Amino acid sequence: MNPYEPVDQTDVVVEGLSIGPIVDNIREQGYSVAENFLDPYLLKSIRDAFNTEVPITEMRAIGTQSGRTWRAHNLLAKTRAVDSVFLDQRLRAIVAGVIGKLNQVNITTLFNTLPGETKQFLHQDDGLWPIPRPHPSFLCNVLIAFDPFTKENGATHIVPGSHKLVEPVDQARETIQVEMGSGSALFWEGGTWHAGGANVTTNQERMGLFISHQVSYLRPQESQLISVPREIVKSLPKKMQRLMGYHQFGIGVDGRDPIDVLQDGSVVAPDAALASEWRARYLEG
Ligand SMILES: O=C(O)CCC(=O)C(=O)O
Ligand SMILES: [Fe+2]
């Protein structure tokens, strides 16, 4: 069996949430909304952490022509406030249902779309990887609303079903705008055509937490292996380390599990006993 195959989540319920219909919608329509995905207390604690740990100097106006979308990239290097979202069993089940259980972090970004922002171009987030279409799903994204997303403040535009298209969509193509309340989560398949909306008639910010997962055999858009200092990664739960790319792929590091290398800091196989056992087995045996 292909270990990268999406997991069948039909009839799977995790912490009261039916995973099957959400995964089906992402697979069939290219997107799905999980209402009230994060509770208000967690949302507030993450927002407080952002306010204290991710200072305004960390925000960059990348990916916007008007300069009115501010983002803090490389979030896992800056705060521990969102680790619990990554470890959330409902999130893990949805991502596994779309791209399989061998997945990893692609990027984690705090978005804040400010009044005055214009509509983004319709785009596909998986367009960065030059893989011919159609292709199996390899990217699964989620944008969790901190502020309510409304048509007026720029709720995300989606072209339903467009992840199955081979040719680019026309920029004038009709879209739906996904309105959702604070704490709700919009999931989409990486090939789904979408765009952040215009926020030109309100004075409201539209803040969201963007988390992107990809299959674990691709290079992430923001390399977690480099972008998060090892001293930080060492202190995290093993599941987080795996998600950040410290997983065995092929030979790992000199045959060793990358997590062991992370912990002892040595890239040289340290085990003299193992070396002499191998010598005995293959050279002297
Ligand atoms: O702002 C949004 O709702 C979506 C943003 C987006 O798609 C992107 O920056 O790639
Ligand atoms: Fe996007």
Q: Quickly list DSSP for 135-166.
A: ----EEEEEEESSPB-TTTT--EE-TTGGG-S
- Over the chain, what is the mean pLDDT? 93
Q: Report the amino acid identity of residue 282.
A: Y
pLDDT digits (tens, 9 = 90+) for 152-203: 999 999 999 999 999 999 999 999 999 999 999 999 999 999 999 999 999 9
| Contact between residue 113 and residue 61 where contact means Cβ atoms under 8 Å apart | no
**pLDDT category of residue 269 using cuts at 50, 70 and 90:** low
Domain coordinates in residue numbering, the chain:
13-247
Q: How far is CA 79 from CA 39, 75, 156, 281, in A?
A: 19, 6, 26, 48
Contact in structure between 10 and 96 (CB atoms under 8 Å): no
| pLDDT-based confidence at residue 283 (cuts at 50, 70, 90) | confident
Dmax over CA atoms of the chain, in Å, equals 79
Angle between helices 89-99 and 19-29 (to 10 degrees): 40
What are the tokens at 127?
């367009």
Residue nearest to atom 2 of ligand 1 (CA): 196
Contact predicate 195/120, CB 8 Å = yes
What's the CA-to-centroid distance between 122 and ligand 2, angstroms? 8
Nearest ligand 1 atom, CA 157: 3
For ligand 1, atom 10, the nearest C-alpha belongs to 125
pLDDT confidence bin for 67, thresholds 50/70/90: confident
Contact 70, 59 (CB under 8 A): yes
Task: Answer whether 129's CB lies under 8 Å from 138's CB.
Answer: yes
**CB of 106 sitting under 6 A from ligand 1:** no
Q: Which of 111, 125, 177 best tests ligand 1's pocket when mutated (most atoms within 8 Å of CB)? A: 111
Tokens 């480099």 found at: 226
Measured in whole angstroms, the distance separating CA 13 from the mean position of its chain's CA atoms is 21
Rounded CA-CA distance 74/260 in Å is: 24
Quote the tokens at residue 234.
């060492």
Predicted local confidence at residue 204, as pLDDT: 97
Is the model's pLDDT at 148 over the cut of 90? yes
89 vs 276, which has greater pLDDT? 89
13-247 to CATH, choices 3.40.50.12140, 2.60.120.620, 3.20.20.210, 1.20.1250.20:
2.60.120.620
Q: 53-57, 132-136, 198-202, 215-219: which range is least confident on average?
A: 53-57
**224 Cβ closer than 6 Å to some ligand 1 atom:** no
Q: Bigger pLDDT: 54 or 11?
A: 11
pLDDT bracket for residue 61 (50, 70, 90): low
Q: Is 113 in the pocket of ligand 1 (CB under 6 A)?
A: yes
The token duo for 11 is: 């009839």
pTM of the predicted protein model: 0.93
pLDDT of 152: 98
Residue 128: how many other CB atoms lie within 10 Å: 14
How far does residue 188's CA lie from ligand 2's centre (Å)?
10
Q: Give the position, in ligand 1's atom list, of the atom nearest the Cα of 186.
A: 3
Q: 252, 280 in Cβ contact below 8 A?
A: no
Provide the pLDDT for residue 176: 98
For residues 123 and 114, what is the distance between their CA atoms, to the nearest angstrom?
20
Closest ligand 1 atom to the C-alpha of 63? 9
Residue 56: pLDDT above 80? Answer: no
The verdict on the CB of residue 71 being under 6 Å from ligand 1 is: no
Regarding the beta carbon of 196 and ligand 1, being less than 6 Å apart is answered yes
Q: Write out the H or E segment, with its range, that includes residue 208.
A: strand 206-215
Query: 152-185 as b/e, with b when 16 or more CB fall inside 10 Å?
Result: bbbbbbbbeebbebeeeeeeeeebeebbbebbbb
> Residue 58 pLDDT more than 80?
no
